[in-house]
């Protein structure tokens, strides 16, 4: 840890959760309006859409992407694609504000040099959830995962290396950034159903930005 974060009563603060996982409380709050505006610009270019798993199950979370690569799921499987399958065009470029946030958060958590080439934008309405899974479609497992929470709060499930391992429940609020990598890179994780509510910037939504090094 760099020691640059303020004490809890004065601003954002870092909470190490394990050897490779750090929760940066309130890290994104200072620039949240600019971040939300950047996200909305991306979503106007590449609207979020419901996807299906390879088994044909509809996902409750609507998804889009920005950067060099976007994550897609359909009957053919989970994978990264250089183009948005809905438009046939490249994904929107990753806004500088998002890239800067991801790099800074990774460095603060002990993963200096992180340079994401993909940002998944997951849009949760009340009731939407994400089942336990591993992020394993990337080629570079040496890079961490940087997950930014905006809008409605959510309960994040952080499991172990096996699906059946116990999961810790972590409350994620607007502006929180969770970073995991190193020995924790392949931990199972998910999100409990989002509860109804409203946020001043995003209304009745939770938006999760997940930055990755896909290639």
Q: Where are the domains of the chain?
A: 13-212
pLDDT in tens, 38-82: 999 999 999 999 999 999 999 999 999 999 999 999 999 999 999
pLDDT of residue 1: 36
pLDDT of residue 140: 83
Which parts of the chain have pLDDT scores under 70? 1-10
pLDDT of residue 10: 63
User: What predicted TM-score, i.e. pTM, was given to this entire model?
Assistant: 0.94
Tell me the three state secondary structure of residue 14. Answer: strand
Half-sphere exposure of 108 (CA within 13 A, CB side): 26
144 contacts 109 by C-beta, under 8 angstroms: yes
Residue range 13-212 forms a domain whose CATH class is: mainly beta
Tokens at 90, concatenated = 């490249």
Buried b (16+ CB within 10 A) or exposed e, 123-139: bbeeebbbebeebebbe
């Amino acid at each position: 840890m760099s020691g640059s974060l303020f004490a809890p009563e004065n601003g954002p603060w870092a909470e190490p959760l394990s050897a490779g996982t750090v929760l940066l409380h309130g890290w994104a709050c200072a620039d949240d309006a600019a971040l939300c505006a950047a996200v909305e610009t991306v979503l106007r270019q590449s609207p979020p859409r419901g996807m299906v798993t390879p088994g044909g199950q509809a996902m409750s979370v609507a998804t889009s992407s920005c950067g060099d690569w976007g994550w897609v799921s359909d009957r053919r499987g989970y994978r990264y694609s250089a183009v948005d399958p809905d438009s046939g065009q490249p994904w929107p470029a990753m806004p500088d504000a998002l890239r800067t946030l991801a790099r800074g958060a990774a460095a603060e958590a002990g993963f200096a040099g992180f340079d994401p080439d993909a940002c998944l934008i997951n849009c949760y309405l009340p009731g939407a959830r994400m089942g336990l899974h591993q992020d394993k479609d990337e080629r570079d497992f040496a890079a961490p995962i940087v997950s930014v929470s905006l809008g409605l709060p959510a309960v994040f499930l952080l499991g172990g290396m096996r699906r059946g391992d116990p999961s810790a429940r972590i409350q994620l609020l607007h502006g929180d950034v969770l970073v995991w990598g190193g020995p924790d890179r392949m931990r199972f994780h998910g999100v409990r159903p989002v509860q109804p509510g409203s946020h001043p910037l995003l209304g009745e939504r939770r938006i999760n930005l997940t930055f990755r090094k896909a290639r």
